[in-house]
Amino acid sequence: MRLFLRSPRRVLPCLLAVALAASALGAYQSSPLTPDVRAALDRISADSLRGHLSFIASDLLEGRNTPSRGLDIAAEYIAAQFRRAGLEPVGDDGYFQTAVMAQSERNMTGFELKLRAGNQEVSATGSQVNVSFNQSLTLAPTAIVKVDFKDAAALAALTPAQVSGKVVFTEFSQVDRAQRQEGMRAQNEFLSKVAALQPALIVSLSRTASPGRGGGPSRLVDPESQPRAAIATAALLTLSVPEAATIYDALKPGLNEATLAVKVPAMEEKPIKLRNVVGLLRGSDPVLKDTYVLVTAHYDHIGISNSGEDRINNGANDDGSGTVSVIELASALATLKERPKRSIVFMTFFGEEKGGLGSRYYGRRPIFPIEKTVADVNLEQVGRTDSTEGPQIANASMTGFDYSDMGPIFQAAGELTGIKVYKHPANSDSFFGRSDNQSLADQGVPAHTLCVAFVYPDYHGVGDHWEKVDYANMAKVDRMVGLSLVMIANNPQEPKWNEENPRAARYVKAWKDRRGK
């Protein structure tokens, strides 16, 4: 039977809700919330979640950047909690699935820069610049073209003959936090237009004396990933030497007699080990135990900012909340006297903030066969209730809500646990590809992210502290997730992609390709 029936517009939603709710509960002659399941879910504690998160999101872990010492400490902590719960270690190193990647960094010891105009000369050290390109670069004294970032007409009038092989010198407008997105868009448009003129280098003046990032942030390279097509962009260097402003202000628009010479060392790569943390609650059914339900979250965040009194981005909600929920769910469900029929895999990923590196690695090198993996429930930002849309109490939303039949399963569990599970009209589809569920969906696994507040104050900011999390609400949401996991694990019918939804077509194809259908 098809997931969605063709019916009159007003009748369809009601029939659909009834049909899918019945399917979600189809494995049960009575409520799935048995005394055994209820007792296990009651073990999910706001105080326990608070205890875990106050450590995972503490300053000691320095924002859990990938890679970092703080990330490694978090991995050891998660593994210890899986061990405490009695989960089976299933990685290549106990609870760890180890990925060997490369970290690309630039040693700025050999960096040189000289800006000269008439009798004036300004030099810069590696700590006074921010290099925003990957390649090495050596320029002998090269002519400078001054371009006013805000003068669209002057930019449009420039030709390749005027700019090619020269240094473009500009100054980007400073914007406040509220205008940051618009400001970045304007900068990117400027850079794209200038890059088409093929300059040797773009230099952006910064009038602050604050230290730059030198060779730029280290870059993670996944040797197994498919290389992306090269994008034509010009090399950009931000210069933070106050004396350079005097030269910049004296230059006339267009070509000048001023010159800039620079030597930027090449990037150097070194191998680095990163770890997904994985534990297994083995199922009880002789056949279904060899099929797997995943509950996942990413345990990394964005690390330490370059400036400010508080520089640590603690990432309590993003995604410390999902991480500690996975821990708490493991501890609770491991106490079930009667294990679920399917096996449940509890997993936390590294590198989500670097493009889903950990989950994509698992997708390529799964510990359990993808064709035997029936679902992934990814938890992201489930702790904060102070959404920009207003308080989010006793509700949760799923991304790609109607891409599969998992939405009604969670709705049915929500009915029994006091949580409203709903499709967000704008964010359900647009956020589908913004977390680790995407990596599993690309492999054909019905995979969604469950979220409480899509957008909230302190997102990717230093203010995302553990004290701001609503632990009572998070515990309640986690009980709903726990019941949903049990329902999926006990149902002989596995979740399926919605073949009637065009947005799910690529995932339907991946699912069929995996199973040879």
Side chain identity, residue 491: N
N residues, the chain:
517
Q: For the chain, what percentages of helix, strand and coil (3-state, to nearest 5) are there?
A: 35, 25, 40
Question: DSSP letters of 388-433?
Answer: TTEE--SEEEETTTTTBSHHHHHHHHHHHHT-EEE--TTHHHHTGG
Question: DSSP letters of 430-499?
Answer: HTGGGSTHHHHHHTT--EEEEES-SS-TTTTSTT--GGGS-HHHHHHHHHHHHHHHHHHHH-SSPP-B-T
Q: 26 vs 116, 122, 283, 308, 415, CA distance in Å?
A: 77, 75, 19, 55, 16
For the beta carbon of residue 311, count every other beta carbon within 10 angstroms: 14
For the beta carbon of residue 223, count every other beta carbon within 10 angstroms: 10
Question: DSSP letters of 104-155?
Answer: EEE-GGG-EEEEEETTEEEE--GGGEEE--SS-EEEEEEEEEE--TT-HHHH
Per-residue tokens: 505: 């077509």
Q: What integer pLDDT is reported at residue 4 of this predicted model?
A: 27
Q: Are 189 and 196 in contact (CB under 8 A)?
A: no
Per-residue tokens: 511: 């699912």
Point out which residues pair with 422 in neighbouring strands. 397
Q: Could you give phi then psi for residue 233, rounded to 5 degrees?
A: -135, 150
Q: Per-residue b/e over 60-84, b at no fewer than 16 CB within 10 Å?
A: ebbbbbbbbebbbbbbebbbebbee
What is d(CA 186, CA 191) in angstroms, rounded to the nearest whole number?
Answer: 9
Q: Could you give phi then psi for residue 47, rounded to 5 degrees?
A: -65, -40
DSSP secondary structure code for residue 253 in this structure: S
Least Cα distance to 94 among 80, 114, 111 occurs for 80
For the beta carbon of residue 305, count every other beta carbon within 10 angstroms: 14
3-state class (DSSP) for residue 372? helix
3-state class (DSSP) for residue 378? strand
Per-residue tokens: 227: 């290389």
Q: Are 295 and 347 in contact (CB under 8 A)?
A: yes
Least Cα distance to 382 among 44, 137, 13, 72 occurs for 44
Q: 243 vs 35, 209, 250, 260, 261, CA distance in Å?
A: 73, 10, 12, 14, 16
Per-residue tokens: 116: 């000269």
Classify domain 108-264 at the CATH class level. Answer: alpha beta
Question: DSSP letters of 327-340?
Answer: HHHHHHHTT-SS--
Q: Are 296 and 351 in contact (CB under 8 A)?
A: no
Q: What integer pLDDT is reported at residue 176 of this predicted model?
A: 65
Q: Where in the chain are the domains?
A: 30-103+271-515, 108-264
Helix-helix angle 471-490:46-56, to 10 degrees? 100
Q: What integer pLDDT is reported at residue 308 of this predicted model?
A: 84
Q: What's the CATH code, domain 30-103+271-515?
A: 3.40.630.10
Q: What integer pLDDT is reported at residue 15 of this predicted model?
A: 40
Q: What integer pLDDT is reported at residue 14 of this predicted model?
A: 38
Output the tens digit of pLDDT for each of the chain's 517 residues: 212 223 333 333 434 444 444 555 555 556 899 999 999 999 999 999 999 999 999 999 999 999 999 999 999 999 999 999 999 999 999 999 999 999 988 989 899 999 999 999 999 999 899 998 888 999 999 999 999 999 999 999 999 999 999 999 999 987 665 677 788 888 989 999 999 999 999 999 998 765 556 666 678 888 887 655 444 467 999 999 999 999 999 999 999 999 999 999 998 889 999 999 999 999 999 999 999 999 999 999 999 987 788 999 999 999 999 999 999 999 999 999 999 999 999 999 999 999 999 999 999 999 999 999 999 999 999 999 999 999 999 999 999 999 999 999 999 999 999 999 999 999 999 999 999 999 999 999 999 999 999 999 999 999 999 999 999 999 999 999 999 999 999 999 999 999 999 999 999 999 999 888 7
Residues 6 or more apart whose CB falls under 8 angstroms from that of 261 comprise: 112, 113, 114, 116, 139, 140, 141, 142
Least Cα distance to 106 among 201, 200, 219 occurs for 219
Q: Are strands 236-239 and 129-131 parallel, antiparallel or unpaired?
A: antiparallel
Using the structure block, give the residue that is written with the tokens 């209820």: 38
